[in-house]
């Protein structure tokens, strides 16, 4: 059986997982796939850190160039993270005739068009299953399993950190700050969780999912992004009483005016398939014209699931090398930017929490402002503990355009009886 030689650049948690899988399941992989995978060299700046596995010193190096320049290495796994240096490593590997496997969703979302063009120019491929959804094989599903379908919508819980935080807030009515601290203690959140909490990490992944689903490139700069920082345990309680669960959703839909792509905290009906996805789990919900509605769920991060996705890509890359088909049908052939719908034209129902002085006539003024923008109220709740004379007014609206809601809420926030910034959340029915 012909052996495929691999160079691993970046020996962190995920790289360690890849080595473990290739060691423990080598015979199983060879028997099932006909591919024998071998780590020929590992590069990392820190070779002394304890990782729980031992590697022969002879295959270790601090210089990534020793992997890229090695003619015996056929596949390079890039796990360094970052942008500029990772981009250079990938481009140089492609130019040296190597297949590339990466989990770098931030780089692909920002520089994917450049990298995929470089891959095609060199008759090579970039494999990126591990960039979205951890162990969920969603990239392969979109590239191959659902290739016969026109995908109309993609909805995803694709950040395990925020899903864990919102789940804990829902289960025990704890604050966001407490849930975040717990996530960090358990290793589910980074020391700096900004990319997760802000929704940017989900936006990176949505670019890749939507680009594959709709057959063109999604411009990251045109994706609307909003995080979960302003969600309180009271919002969890209020929305739960209305029959909803709050999730940070990545949403992409085909509309008459273009692709509607956005990331934001969303009220999901408790009967929706995504509502029960809790903890660090991810889930991606797809609608195709012939496949209908499907949901794919699994752990979205961690050593095991992510390493599993990388090894799956290594097997695929190895098969292509053995058959001589080095630029197979799974390549990302998306040169053209897709037309994007304006966020202002997005239409949905909204939840609005308004901290207002508890006195007669307040609701009438709020309703009058909403009415002036053709926004109708579906229901009103005034509950919660009065604090210094202020009580939250909870509104649910009927369908309304984003630009109208934005203007109306801005005007409401300027009312003298409103004592704080109103919070609005969109509803996904």
Catalytic site positions: 205
- Residue 317 is classified by DSSP as H
Q: Return d(Cα 360, Cα 372) in angstroms, integer.
A: 20
Residue 221 burial (CB < 10 Å; 0-12/13-18/19+)? exposed
**Are the C-beta atoms of residues 189 and 176 closer than 8 Å to each other?**
no
DSSP three-state, residue 118: helix
Q: Return d(Cα 418, Cα 408) in angstroms, integer.
A: 13
Nearest to 14 by CA among 80, 95, 82, 84: 80
Six token digits for residue 132 = 């979205």
Six token digits for residue 186 = 């358990």
Six token digits for residue 45 = 């700046």
Phi-psi region of 369 (alpha: psi -120 to 50; beta: other; left: phi over 0): alpha
**Are the C-beta atoms of residues 123 and 326 closer than 8 Å to each other?**
yes
**Are the C-beta atoms of residues 144 and 150 closer than 8 Å to each other?**
no
Is the CA virtual torsion 227, 223, 108, 147 positive or negative?
positive
**Are the C-beta atoms of residues 379 and 396 closer than 8 Å to each other?**
yes
H and E: helices and strands count for the chain: 14, 17
Q: Return d(Cα 408, Cα 373) in angstroms, integer.
A: 7
Question: Helix, strand, coil: what percent of the chain each, to 5?
Answer: 40, 25, 35
Residue 183 burial (CB < 10 Å; 0-12/13-18/19+)? buried
Q: Return d(Cα 379, Cα 397) in angstroms, integer.
A: 7
Residue 82: phi and psi, rounded to 5, are: 75, -175
Q: CB-side exposure of 115: number of CA atoms within 13 Å?
A: 30
């Amino acid at each position: 059986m012909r052996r495929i030689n691999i160079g691993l650049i970046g020996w962190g948690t995920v790289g360690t997982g890849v080595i473990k899988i290739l060691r423990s399941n080598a015979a199983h992989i060879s028997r099932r796939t006909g591919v024998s995978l071998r780590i020929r060299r590992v590069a990392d700046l820190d070779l002394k850190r304890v990782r729980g596995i031992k590697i022969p010193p002879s295959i270790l190096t601090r210089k990534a160039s020793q992997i890229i320049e090695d003619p015996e290495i056929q596949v390079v796994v890039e796990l360094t993270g970052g942008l500029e240096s990772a981009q250079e490593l990938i481009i140089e590997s492609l130019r040296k005739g190597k297949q590339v496997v990466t989990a770098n969703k931030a780089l692909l979302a920002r520089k994917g068009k450049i990298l995929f063009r470089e891959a095609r120019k060199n008759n090579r491929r970039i494999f990126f299953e591990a960039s979205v959804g951890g162990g969920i094989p969603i990239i392969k599903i979109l590239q191959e399993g659902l290739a016969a379908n026109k995908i109309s919508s993609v909805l995803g819980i694709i950040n395990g950190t925020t899903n864990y935080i919102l789940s804990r807030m829902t289960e025990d009515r704890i604050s966001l700050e407490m849930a975040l601290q717990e996530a960090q203690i358990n290793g589910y959140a980074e020391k700096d969780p900004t990319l997760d909490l802000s929704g940017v990490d989900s936006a990176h992944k949505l670019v890749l999912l939507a680009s594959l689903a709709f057959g063109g490139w999604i411009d990251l700069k045109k994706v609307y992004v909003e995080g979960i920082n302003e969600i309180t345990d009271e919002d969890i309680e209020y929305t739960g009483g209305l029959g909803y669960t709050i999730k940070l959703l990545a949403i992409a839909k085909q509309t008459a005016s273009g692709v509607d792509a956005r990331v934001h905290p969303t009220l999901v009906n408790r009967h929706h398939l995504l509502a029960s996805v809790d903890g660090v789990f991810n889930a991606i919900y797809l609608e195709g014209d012939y496949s209908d509605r499907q949901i794919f769920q699994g752990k979205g991060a961690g050593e095991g699931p992510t390493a599993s996705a990388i090894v799956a890509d290594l097997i695929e890359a190895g098969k292509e090398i053995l058959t001589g088909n080095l630029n197979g049908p799974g390549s990302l052939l998306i040169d053209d930017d897709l037309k994007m719908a304006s966020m202002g034209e997005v239409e949905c129902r909204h939840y609005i929490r308004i901290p207002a002085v508890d006195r007669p006539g307040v609701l009438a003024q709020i309703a009058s402002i909403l009415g002036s923008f053709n926004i109708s109220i579906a229901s009103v709740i005034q509950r919660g503990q009065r604090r210094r004379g202020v009580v939250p007014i909870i509104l649910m609206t009927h369908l309304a355009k984003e630009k109208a809601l934005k203007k109306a809420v801005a005007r409401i926030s300027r009312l003298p009886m409103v004592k704080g910034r109103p919070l609005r959340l969109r509803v996904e029915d």
